[in-house]
Amino acid sequence: MDAQLPVICAKCHNGAKKTYNCDHTDYAEYCTECYTELHYYLTESGPGQDAQGAKRDSGDAP
């Protein structure tokens, strides 16, 4: 039952049933895990998002 999966993730090189791509992946096919992980890190610390002088109120204690 080890049928070859249709697509190979460009990052982890594992077969995936479904892959995703966007400009963040350079339009390479990423598996769900890698794709999610990539965007997780992008949203965690993305420089260049606060251009309106908004203060970063992260979880810093006062």
Residues binding Zn ion (CB under 5 A):
9, 11-12, 22, 24, 31, 34
Residue 17 or 55 having the CB closest to Zn ion = 17
Residue 23 or 60 having the CB closest to Zn ion = 23
Closest distance to Zn ion from the beta carbon of 42 (Å): 7
CA distance 52 to 5: 45
In sequence order, the β-bridge partners of residue 8 are: 15
Residue 46 or 62 having the CB closest to Zn ion = 46
CA distance 47 to 51: 10
